[in-house]
Amino acid sequence: MKKTFFLLILFVLFGHTISQAQNVLEIAKAMFAKTHSIKTLSYTMKKTERIKGKSVLQISSGKLNRDPLKVYLKQSFPKEGIEVLYVEGTNNNNALINPNGFPWFSVNLDPFGSTMRENQHHTLFNSGYDHVISILEHLYTKYNDQVESMAKIDGSVVWDSHNCWVVSLNNPYFKYGSYTAQKGETLLTIAGKFKLSEHMMLEKNPSIKSYTESLAGRTILIPNDYSSKMVLYIDKVRMVPLVMKVYDNEGLYENYEYTNVVINPVFNPEEFKSDYKDYHF
């Protein structure tokens, strides 16, 4: 198993792809390897997230440098022109925001704070593919020999002019249960520990007011996994997911659609500075 996995990593990293998939595990492993090799990324993302029972749509273009983490986002819907710039280790690790409206000047905000997290399942730290891939790798390890029966190839589809495999992962074990938080634990640390959605837990526990609230000794309701079902459109050539649909026990929980994806673009260093010629901070 380990030998096969490392051969697949080498296979993908040297620019080859799987021309005919033997099974869904080959596709998954190649996707893991390819996404881990990405250093920079640019894209347009249309995301739909369920917030308090309603679907919230947002469309943004993004630029990402993985290490050190640098993120630039520009929203086109619903608030056209909002810009976000984050560069790890600078600006007191705050994000610089151009609201393109009131209060009519750029502001520094905590990426984990309530203002930036309003109507958002995730933070800017989850930009790109690393977050979803870490969840899938966790499930692969957790369910091991059962993964092949849980995952399947549902055919092919053309997305943004790219031929994609449609891969679904159905999780019959998804459920909610009680969890007693340990010293120092918050929704953020619990989500990181078990690869869960902190937003899902926040909505299931109305007595919790923030993601960073201390929960030591409290018994809360948490899911045992991130989702009951995932559907991915995986680019057959580039081996990256272009669509990610995530379901819970109530239906579609979040949907991410990527277009205009460029893998490992060469960014001008100025593109992660607030005074870059195309920005309006």
Nearest CA among 153, 179, 132, 130 for reference residue 236: 153
Task: Name the CATH superfamily for 176-223.
Answer: LysM domain (3.10.350.10)
Check pLDDT > 70 for residue 225. yes
Quick: pLDDT tens for 194-217. 999 999 999 999 999 999 999 999
- For position 148, what pLDDT does the model report? 87
Quick: pLDDT tens for 29-48. 999 999 999 999 999 999 99
| Mode of pairing for the β-strands spanning 241-248 and 251-263 | antiparallel
**Residue with token string 């459109």:** 233
Mean local confidence (pLDDT), 135-145: 95
| Structure token pair of residue 6 | 């490392």
Q: What is the mean pLDDT of the chain?
A: 92
3-class secondary structure, 180: strand
In the chain, where the domains are located: 2-37+130-173+226-239, 40-126+265-272, 176-223
Q: Output the DSSP codes for 29-90.
A: HHHHHHHHH--EEEEEEEEEEEETTEEEEEEEEEEEETTTTEEEEEEEESSTT-EEEEETTS
Q: Are 37 and 254 in contact (CB under 8 A)?
A: no
Entry pTM: 0.89
- For position 151, what pLDDT does the model report? 96
- For position 22, what pLDDT does the model report? 54
Collect all residues with Cβ–Cβ distance below 8 Å to 7 and sequence separation of at least 6. Answer: none
